Amino acid sequence: MKSILIIGMGRFGCHLCKELAELGNQIMIVDQEEDRLEGMFPYVVSAKIGDCTNEDVLKSLGIGNFDIVFVCIGTNFQSSLETTSLVKELGAKYVVSKANRDIHAKFLLKNGADEVIYPDRDIAEKVAVSYSSDSIFDYIELTDEFSIYEIAPLPKWVGKTLRDLDLRNTYSISVLGTKQGEYMKLMPHADYTIDGRAHLMVIGRKKDIDRIVKELEK
């Protein structure tokens, strides 16, 4: 359990708050507009109305007592930048700021953010990858280089074992699990035989997955 401060209760801030609360974290929320705090009281230990570009408002929150501070101000970049800088100056242990553009991220990282997240971009990328191919059913980016994909198996894989296919050497991917309907099996044994009805959860580089997808769509 962590002590978390969320500044800015737009749609992302509200969703983040609910998810963090369900995981058992202690949360304080702050926003300039009172109506944005309504409905969030069951999820938080404290809710404050205030302008967090005002240093006195931030000082009253006890910034240094929180394990993480999320700055989720998405519509006013100047306010997001000022708030990020101030919370770090006031002793925030770890600051995560929301950004909409790469240029914003660069400024936030230079002015106090320990980490920058792009929720809108990340969702758009996931949707774009999933809907660009009938052979990709889900996608999770881990780093700029590696991602996890849910894909259909190549027809030539069906009926063969993972040991026989040696996918790590032949396609530079690793199978993390299989999924058929709602049933998922993690870390299948090397003797697992590929079922044409099951999807594969694989990890690999985008270029290597793209090579498989192109084969699937021939």
Q: Where are the domains of the chain?
A: 3-117, 122-216
**Does residue 190 carry a pLDDT above 80?**
yes
Mean pLDDT of the chain: 91
Average of per-residue pLDDT across 174-188: 91
Two structure tokens written together for 194: 């590929």
> How far, in Å, CA of 31 to CA of 49, rounded?
5
pLDDT (0 to 100) of residue 128 = 78
> How is residue 193 annotated by DSSP?
B
pLDDT band at 55 (very low <50, low <70, confident <90, very high): very high
Phi, psi dihedrals of residue 127, rounded to the nearest 5°: -65, -45
Residue listed under structure tokens 């925030």: 92
Q: Which amino acid is at 149?
A: Y
> How far, in Å, CA of 210 to CA of 121, rounded?
21
Query: Is residue 88 helix, strand or coil?
Result: helix
Q: Report yes or no: 136 and 149 within 8 Å, Cβ to Cβ.
A: yes
DSSP string, 142-192: -SSSEEEEEEPPPGGGTT-BHHHH-HHHHTSEEEEEEEETTEEEES--TTP
What CATH number is given for 3-117 in this structure?
Answer: 3.40.50.720
144 or 204, higher pLDDT: 204
- If one counts every other C-beta atom within 10 angstroms of the C-beta of residue 153, the result is 24
Task: Categorise residue 29: left if φ over 0, alpha if ψ from -120 to 50, beta otherwise.
Answer: beta
Phi, psi dihedrals of residue 95, rounded to the nearest 5°: -115, 125
Residue listed under structure tokens 């990890």: 203
**Does residue 92 carry a pLDDT above 80?**
yes
Q: Report yes or no: 59 and 26 within 8 Å, Cβ to Cβ.
A: no
pLDDT (0 to 100) of residue 102 = 82
| Among 56-60, 98-102, 152-156, 172-176, the least confident range | 98-102
> How far, in Å, CA of 215 to CA of 41, rounded?
51
> How far, in Å, CA of 16 to CA of 5, rounded?
11
Query: Does the global pTM surpass 0.85?
Result: no
pLDDT (0 to 100) of residue 126 = 73
Paired with 17 in beta bridges are none
Among 1.25.40.10, 3.40.50.1980, 3.30.70.20, 3.30.70.1450, what is the CATH number of 122-216?
A: 3.30.70.1450
